[in-house]
Chains A and B, each alone.
Chain A
Amino acid sequence: MNHLVTAEAVSRSFPLDHSSVSALDDVNLRVSAGEFLAIAGPSGSGKTTLLNLIGCIDKPTSGRIVIDGEDATKLTSARTAALRRVKIGFVFQTFNLIPVFTASENVEFPLLVQGVSGSERRRKAAAALESVELSLRATYRPDLLSGGERQRVAVARAIVHRPALVLADEPTANLDTQNATQLVDLMRELNRNLGITFIFSTHDQRLLEHTPRIVRLCDGRVVSDTHAAAAETRLEGDCHEQVSAARFS
């Protein structure tokens, strides 16, 4: 079976003085097209590092990342940028909208970088904003939008060019519970309606209740990979015990 994302024996360590810190250790992961997947784990478990590697904005120390059949670890900088441009959309914890652009112009940006014509950009941006129910805020700059609205603009920006994969790193961390739940529901809806694969990271247990697949990380290792049927199952014991259990299972 062809997978949209394949991480094979991926490790990532960062130099620190004369030693190094391991952020990810021998991670294996396969994600099929159209999946809606959450990467869960406590702070420092390696969620962001794994998303950065899948998003091709970082390279593993060892192992390989394959995106839609292309080994991202072997691509040049320019080819990697092109891969991200076409196949990946990003949603960030702090929204990261361009403050001098309106909501609509922010959504247009990925299309601008792809060289799409002005009229086509405007049409697609309007449709994307419609899909996140923000058409009435199209001309607003980010500083005039609420946190929830900003993140929905960021989601619209991530899907406007119909990427195969959207990566959302702690997209709800700066939102209240209501907005956080609405955002996850929105991403799930877009996943179903548009067939775009979503991978998001979170450490908020409440958001995982309706997530069909949850990959749990602890200390840079995958300690569980549960699908819908087992989604309610909570792992017992603390994070470090789970790592030991995973290591010897």
Chain B
Amino acid sequence: MSKFLLLAFRNVFRNRRRTLMTLLVVGGGVAGLLLAGGYFAFMTDGLRENTIRNGLGHIQIFNAEHFKRDEVRVLDTGIDNWRQVAATISSTAHVNGVAPRIEFYGMVSNGQKSSVYMGSAVDPDAERSLGFTPHLLSGQDLDAKPGADVEALVGAGLAKSMNVKVGDGLTLLAVTSDGALNGIDVEVTGIVQTGVADLDARYLRIPLNAAQRLLQSDRVTNLVVGLDATANTDWVYGQLTPRLNGLPQQMEMKRWIDLATYYKQVRNLFDGIFLFMGVIVFFMVLMSSINTLLMSMFERTREIGTMLAMGTPYSWIVALFMTEAALLGLLGAAIGIVGGNLAAALLNVLNLRLPPPPGYTVSILFHVLYVPGIMAGASILVTLSLVLAAILPAVRASRIQITEALAHV
């Protein structure tokens, strides 16, 4: 068997220039897939962690009623006695902390002009402990010191629209849980950027206690759970299920992936693009290799005839060509992996940035991750492509008439 492999290996290097060209095509395909796949992995991994760190958290807990019906009044599907629920969750392993949130909306006014806002009320300390820090363009994060003025962070678009800067005052209006109209004055302590232009035009963040005062309710919309690692999400989800079932109010949990609609869309898009690239590389290697392998077969016609005359089974001839193609694929893949990783290292060192995508305001770092799965997958893809390319030459070789092959010049 080793002699058979040796023969295949030496045959691969019989025509070095042609082999080199084939290896470059195969290696180039693998390197291209590695770079594209590594960049997509960086983008999706970054988007996932950003999505989680930007406030989505790893798990969110709601009152089960929240998903069964629309709210008739503000927070009437919110969580009662949320501190008890948070305490229950916090004692679970891998849980870094629990942040209560209220999602609300209303009108904001600077005394001359009013606009709609989408409010998010948070416990600043809990948010900071989980690493959920807003991206401040100016000013500082919420402090929520007792007795101080009500602070607010305002989205860059909303601040521009309302013509306010750090230190200016705004009036927030909202409907209370009793259906009455209520209002509070806030001081702008910071201008923030969410990364999404449409959201920046409406975004407003205030401390939780201020929102509860505005909405006249002790409830919260949801509890956001932060974990030590995203990989522990399923395990913690499993641990929390029986604990929450023991509470008087029926709760419902959502994993981050259930709520990250945008992340899923982006991931599907990248998967689709990567699949398309894989198909292109597959056919590129297939088409360029068929000709090379056929030429190799024609050049060795007499040799194949000699081997067959000596009683070599036809299956051996087929296996020989397949093995040569597989070796070519593996060598090309190895070259592609080395070349692709070197190119990735170089690009990563250059610290390139890409312009923001449509609807975004932040430029994107160009970075390529080293993903062993992509390296293995790309190697298998090109090797399979070459083995398929070898079928035609192998079958033709195995059907050679021995007497004609021996007379071949």
Contact = CB atoms under 8 A, between A and B. Distances in A.
* A and B are interacting partners: yes
Interface of A: 52, 55, 57-58, 77-78, 81-86, 88-90, 92, 94, 96, 98-101, 105, 108-110, 112-114, 118, 121
A82 B14 CA distance: 29
A81 B3 contact: no
A113 B310 CA distance: 8
Contacts of B7: 98, 100-101
A85 B311 CA distance: 4
A85 B310 contact: yes
Contact of B306 (A58, A83, A92): A92
Contacts of B129: none
A110 B310 contact: yes
A58 B314 CA distance: 16
Looking at chain A's contact residues, the main secondary structure is helix
Interface string B286-313: 0000000000000000110011111111
B316 A57 contact: no
Interface in B1-45: 2-4, 6-7, 10-11, 14
B357 to A, nearest CB: 53
13 contacts: A82-B311, A83-B311, A84-B309, A89-B310, A92-B306, A96-B303, A96-B306, A96-B406, A105-B6, A108-B3, A112-B4, A113-B313, A113-B316
B402 interface: yes
B406 to A, nearest CB: 7
Contact of A118 (B3, B308, B403): B3
B303 A113 contact: no
Nearest to B3: A112
A166 B394 CA distance: 29
B296 to A, nearest CB: 12
Contact of B403 (A52, A83, A98, A114): A52
B108 to A, nearest CB: 81
Given A101-B7, A114-B311, 12 more contacts: A55-B309, A57-B402, A57-B403, A57-B406, A58-B402, A84-B309, A89-B310, A98-B303, A98-B306, A99-B14, A100-B11, A118-B2
Contact of A84 (B6, B310, B316): B310
A146 to B, nearest CB: 20
A161 to B, nearest CB: 9
A75 to B, nearest CB: 12
B312 A113 contact: yes
B208 to A, nearest CB: 77
Contacts of B6: 105
A113 B214 CA distance: 89
Contacts of A81: 308, 311-314
Given A98-B303, A118-B2, A118-B3, A78 B311 contact: no
Contacts of B302: 94, 96
B403 A58 contact: yes
Interface string B311-329: 1111010000000000000
Given A96-B306, A100-B14, A105-B3, A110 B311 contact: yes
Interface string B118-147: 000000000000000000000000000000
A52 B403 CA distance: 7
B380 to A, nearest CB: 27
Interface in B391-409: 402-403, 406
B169 to A, nearest CB: 86
A118 B4 CA distance: 11
Contact of B313 (A52, A55, A78): A78
A99 to B, nearest CB: 7
Nearest to B303: A98
Contacts of B403: 52, 57-58
A83 B310 CA distance: 10
Contacts of A112: 3-4
Which of the listed residues B11, B303, B306 has the most CB atoms from chain A within 10 Å of its own CB?
Answer: B306
Contacts of A77: 314
B2 A84 contact: no
A77 to B, nearest CB: 8
A119 to B, nearest CB: 12
B303 A57 contact: no
Contacts of B307: 98, 109, 113
A78 B24 CA distance: 39
A176 to B, nearest CB: 22
B318 to A, nearest CB: 14
Given A58-B403, A101-B7, A113 B14 contact: no
Q: Which 6 A-B pairs have the closest CB atoms?
A: A85-B311, A100-B10, A84-B311, A96-B306, A57-B402, A58-B403
A129 B101 CA distance: 88
Given A100-B10, A105-B3, A112-B4, A86 B311 contact: yes
Contacts of A92: 306, 406
B367 to A, nearest CB: 45
Contacts of A90: 306, 309-310
Nearest to B406: A92
Nearest to B13: A100
Contacts of B310: 84-85, 89-90, 109-110, 113
Contacts of A84: 309-311
Which of the listed residues B303, B309, B310 has the most CB atoms from chain A within 10 Å of its own CB?
Answer: B310
A121 B2 CA distance: 13
Contacts of A88: 311
A13 B2 CA distance: 42
A77 B312 CA distance: 11
B371 to A, nearest CB: 37
Contacts of A58: 402-403
A10 to B, nearest CB: 15
A57 B4 contact: no
A2 to B, nearest CB: 23
A216 to B, nearest CB: 22
